[in-house]
Structure 1
Amino acid sequence: MLANGLVTYESWDLKQLSIPSRSLLYQLQPVGIRTPMVESLTGYIERLAEAHCIPPDVLISRIITPLLKQIFLKSRTSRDLRSLFDRATAINGTGNIARDLVQALQKLTLIEDLHLLTLLFWCEIIPTRNLFRTQSAWCAVCYEEWSLNNQVIYKPLLWTINSVKVCALHKICLCLQCPHCQQELPLLSWRSRPGYCSKCGGWLGMNLPVKSASELMACSTLSKEELHSQTWIVEVIGELISSTLSFKSPPVKEEIAKSLSLLIDAVTDGNIAEFARLMGIPKNTLWMWQTGKALPVLDILLKICYRLEISLLDLLKPEQLAVKSFTKISHKTFRRSPTLRASPKLFDANQVQDALLAILASDKEPPLTMEEVATGLGYDRRTIFRHFPDLCRAISAKYRSYSKACHTEKIQQSCREVKQIVLKLHHQGEYPSEARVSEIMTNPGYLRYKQVRAALNETRRKIGF
């Protein structure tokens, strides 16, 4: 205190503080970034929805969709969401849907590098054909261990890739059906939740004490050789996924072509036909890949790498492949299955004609297709058609008529089922929404037909909705 009775206080800095940006959604950190077991984007969406105590359909339709640049959904109705869920493989893939969703989620959460939860980085060299499985797959033991250790339950990107059939850690096949309701599960749906069945809500982990490694190997239906190749595939794809940040720029398809040329020169001295025969690949197809006119699918790349004892990363770096020694591999003897040329078979016109007439007169259901008829007679379908075009057309028309009648009957059956479901839900005091009805239907895909949807709307009108 000063002599005049005044008090001196510490000075205040009145400079305005810089407040960091706030995210609209929780800054939920992805699991396993820069590791082979990195989380998938579909699984991240499920965890993000669970963290906000809302189902994935609400998160997508009300929060994510307004930020999408591309118009993937014409509206936010359950029908349009179903079309997105049916294309859920694209969310983890290499195209515009994955890119747009990554950008939207990064803006909502302010989390960077969400593209690492997809295969966007490899879009130039990995075709999407047969790349992802259309249904969920998981390791029940992994789920159980994560739960017992209080770890995050999530869906790794590795499990969504079609080539991956086993869990490399536990040496068992990935599960493809819920152990409670025995149904296959979609990659993403209205009520998806990591570790739980989206149909019945059951826990997907192994509700038993964790088994020993030897017991787990006994559970596998794969042979020892198949298990070895599958374990190698998992390790190689995992290495590829975790190495994204080691590349200065995304690899381009010209590098695949260059690597294949190096392999052909090293293994068969530039003989494309011999290399194609050793790898079990059509020569023209291999030529298209070598010249860069087309790209091999992931399964073919894995097949080549496995036989030549190299990794996918080696194949993507021609400069490293050029210094690799293939002396041992070039002299390796691949097992070849001898193909004996079949002797020509004489065409018995009278016998074939009698058989076709008998098939046309038969009342057997379902009727045979022309492909089945040709296989049964032991002749090529085109050969039979060349001799008896009218009879072949009549058999095909008979099968089409039967298929059309079956289709009509299934639609009518779905209409009756929808009416019963709506009335049952109404009796239970539950609103018969389209999403709820489709969950109970035996074949929910039939809701896409206008007759079934008309039956749904008509029944809801009758009960006052």
Structure 2
Amino acid sequence: MNEIEMALPLTVYEAVDVALLDIPPRSRFYNMMPIGIGTAWVESLIGYIIRLAWLHSVSPVALFLQEIAHHFWKPIRHIAAVPAPFARNLNGADETAQVVVKTLEALTKRNDLRQLTLLNWRNVLSDYRAFRESRAWCPLCYQEWQDAGSTIYEPLLWLVSAGRICLAHQQPLQTVCPHCQKKNPLIASRAQAGHCYCCRKWLGASELSGETDFSVEEKEYQLRLTTEIGNLLATTPSLDSMPTHEQFVEGLQAAIHQCAHDNINIFSAQSEIWSGTVRHWLKGAMLPNLEKLTPVCLNLNLSLRDLLSGKIKPIEKQWSLFAEEEQQYRINQHGKLQTVKSAHDVEAERQVLKAALTEMPPPSLQSVLRKLGCEDTGYYYYDHFPELCICITKRYKEYRSGYFNADAIRNDLQQMLAENPPPSFSEVSRRIGYSRSLIHKTFPTLSEQLLERYKEYRQLYRAGNLEKLREEIREVVISLQRQGIYPNETKVRKMVTTPARWEQFKQVMQEVRQELIKPPKKNPAPRLTQLSLL
């Protein structure tokens, strides 16, 4: 060691850990971040797949088929688009979405892709008709994102079938390309966000041409409906746990209690949904979907998330079902919900019921109610006109009991048995005024005789009709032959007027043809004899 090296000060370094670092494995795809998680504008899973494919410079369908589809299908090489029913379920809550999310999370090393679907609501929501079968978009949003330099993507809210309006611009969503006039599938080989999947032209626009399809009331309703669905999507990441079906049933029972005093019929009437559907939800026989459940929440001023998670808050405005001054509905003694009608309507209905008491023959109460436009069991009329309804029913029963005179009916049947041509059993039932089963049960012998005689008559009629058809076909064939026209089936059929089925016509035509038409003789080819050869 020389003097210079001895003069330099020595530096003491810290100890170096030479153990191998725990480096996580590399992801197969880029760890691309989804857009809008925690907001109503959260990206859809299909839109994420399309952006991921373009980031890797591959076709979205190729990426899907090579990396994901082998979990569902056999290998497919040539396909232009993923089938619409399958693609529609990618954003839903069934097993398809679960497998796709799990596969993509493994490929990208992300753990938040389930927020791009309804998987967190799979226990309380059904996929049935929840999403569109084709693409929908807002041209104004596309143009704004492009002008601002933002990433262009496909929000999940645009794919929900119940929502038909853009929350940002309050304009209807577009479903047809303005350039090629075609609908776009949900995912295609040429799919690119903001562009038509068919002609690949830009779909953004600074303004919409044409008038909107929404009225003022419908537009307001669509805004409320889409806002409610957007709130559900925005609050999905903040769920402590996945809501269970028991929690949904508790929330639905609480809503029925607050809004309808535990009366399902009133609840279904006010929410404009069939009462059987509500009972199926309560029993767990079926799960609700967004298309049916969201309007229920709007009509009852309920939160969709609170109803699904069983956290129903007290309603600010209770129904005024039992208030005299604001009553629009009334519960009758049968537990049914009846609409309150004006005094003019009630008096007109009273006059119709009174007139039925003087009609001959006496009508049944059901026939009278049908004249009034009543399609149900008539609880309203029993409650408002009990005496008239009872009198009409009693008068009709007395008429029916006294009208059924067995001896008179037997005489009528015997007279019909002697008629020529004999009537059918349906005609007998109509003329007597009783059902065929009752007549056959009361007069079995006469009924069998009537049936047998009518059967024989029909057989003779068919035989006579065939003979008439044969004569007419023979005349037509002879007429065509005289004109030098070959009588084929098509020409003869057009000229025949006797009604007959095609099978019967062909059979008779074949018989007449064998009888009258002689096939042309074919001249036999001359035999080559040994002499002619010479």
Q: Quickly name the TM-score band, shorter chain normalised.
A: 0.5 to 0.7
Whether 1:130 and 2:121 are equivalent positions in the alignment is no
Which residue of 2 is the match for residue 190 of structure 1? 189
SS at structure 2 position matched to 1:194: coil
- Asked if 2 retains the 8 angstrom alpha-carbon contact of 1:31 and 1:39, the reply is yes
1:344–1:318: structure 2 CA closer, same or farther, 3 Å change rule?
closer
1:217–1:313: structure 2 CA closer, same or farther, 3 Å change rule?
farther
- Amino acid corresponding to residue 64 of structure 2 in structure 1: I
1:298-345 per-position Cα deviation (integer Å, ceiling 9, x unaligned): 222112111111220221243443x44553565676696989954399
Which residue of 2 is the match for residue 262 of structure 1? 254
Distance between the aligned counterparts of 2:141 and 2:82, measured in 1? Answer: 31
SS at structure 1 position matched to 2:5: coil
Distance between the aligned counterparts of 2:327 and 2:84, measured in 1? Answer: 47
Q: Post-superposition shift, 1:2?
A: 8.6
Q: Post-superposition shift, 1:146?
A: 0.2
Distance between the aligned counterparts of 1:317 and 1:87, measured in 2? Answer: 28
Kindly report which structure 2 residues correspond to 1:25-424, keeping only aligned pairs within 5 A, or say none.
25-65=29-69, 71-79=71-79, 82=81, 84=83, 86-206=85-205, 210=206, 219-321=211-313, 323-328=314-319, 342-343=370-371
- Asked if 1 retains the 8 angstrom alpha-carbon contact of 2:59 and 2:190, the reply is yes
Distance between the aligned counterparts of 1:112 and 1:193, measured in 2? Answer: 25
- Amino acid corresponding to residue 343 of structure 1 in structure 2: K
Distance between the aligned counterparts of 1:271 and 1:132, measured in 2? Answer: 32
1:122-149 per-position Cα deviation (integer Å, ceiling 9, x unaligned): 1111111110110000000000000000
- Asked if 1 retains the 8 angstrom alpha-carbon contact of 2:272 and 2:296, the reply is no
Which residue of 2 is the match for residue 394 of structure 1? none
Larger of the two Rg values belongs to structure: 2
Q: Post-superposition shift, 1:52?
A: 0.8
SS at structure 2 position matched to 1:87: helix
1:304–1:19: structure 2 CA closer, same or farther, 3 Å change rule?
same
- Amino acid corresponding to residue 371 of structure 2 in structure 1: S
Q: Post-superposition shift, 1:268?
A: 2.2
Distance between the aligned counterparts of 2:141 and 2:163, measured in 1? Answer: 15
1:272–1:217: structure 2 CA closer, same or farther, 3 Å change rule?
farther
1:421-444 per-position Cα deviation (integer Å, ceiling 9, x unaligned): xxxxxxxxxxxxxxxxxxxxxxxx
Q: Which runs of 5+ in 2 are unaligned?
A: 330-338, 350-368, 374-423, 425-500, 503-534
Which residue of 1 is the match for residue 27 of structure 2? 23
- Asked if 2 retains the 8 angstrom alpha-carbon contact of 1:72 and 1:84, the reply is no
Distance between the aligned counterparts of 1:98 and 1:158, measured in 2? Answer: 16
Which TM-score applies when normalising by structure 2?
0.57
Percent sequence identity over matched residues?
A: 32
SS at structure 1 position matched to 2:198: coil
Distance between the aligned counterparts of 1:317 and 1:59, measured in 2? Answer: 36
Whether 1:13 and 2:13 are equivalent positions in the alignment is no
- Asked if 2 retains the 8 angstrom alpha-carbon contact of 1:139 and 1:167, the reply is yes
1:147-180 per-position Cα deviation (integer Å, ceiling 9, x unaligned): 0001000000111100010001101000000111
Q: Post-superposition shift, 1:24?
A: 1.3
1:334–1:50: structure 2 CA closer, same or farther, 3 Å change rule?
farther
Distance between the aligned counterparts of 1:171 and 1:97, measured in 2? Answer: 33
Which residue of 2 is the match for residue 426 of structure 1? none
Q: Post-superposition shift, 1:275?
A: 2.1
Which TM-score applies when normalising by structure 1?
0.66
- Asked if 2 retains the 8 angstrom alpha-carbon contact of 1:278 and 1:334, the reply is no
Q: Which runs of 5+ in 1 are unaligned?
A: 351-396, 399-465
Distance between the aligned counterparts of 1:276 and 1:184, measured in 2? Answer: 36
Q: Post-superposition shift, 1:92?
A: 0.7
- Amino acid corresponding to residue 220 of structure 1 in structure 2: T
1:304–1:334: structure 2 CA closer, same or farther, 3 Å change rule?
farther
Distance between the aligned counterparts of 1:164 and 1:107, measured in 2? Answer: 32
SS at structure 2 position matched to 1:39: coil
Of 254-263 and 33-42, deviating more is: 254-263
Distance between the aligned counterparts of 1:252 and 1:238, measured in 2? Answer: 21
1:217–1:342: structure 2 CA closer, same or farther, 3 Å change rule?
farther
- Asked if 1 retains the 8 angstrom alpha-carbon contact of 2:28 and 2:107, the reply is yes
Distance between the aligned counterparts of 2:267 and 2:279, measured in 1? Answer: 11
1:83–1:200: structure 2 CA closer, same or farther, 3 Å change rule?
closer
1:82–1:329: structure 2 CA closer, same or farther, 3 Å change rule?
farther
Distance between the aligned counterparts of 2:211 and 2:340, measured in 1? Answer: 31
SS at structure 1 position matched to 2:174: coil
Q: Post-superposition shift, 1:54?
A: 1.0
Distance between the aligned counterparts of 2:209 and 2:195, measured in 1? Answer: 24
Distance between the aligned counterparts of 1:232 and 1:344, measured in 2? Answer: 37
- Asked if 2 retains the 8 angstrom alpha-carbon contact of 1:154 and 1:194, the reply is yes
1:51-78 per-position Cα deviation (integer Å, ceiling 9, x unaligned): 1111112212223345xxxx31111322
Distance between the aligned counterparts of 1:90 and 1:105, measured in 2? Answer: 15
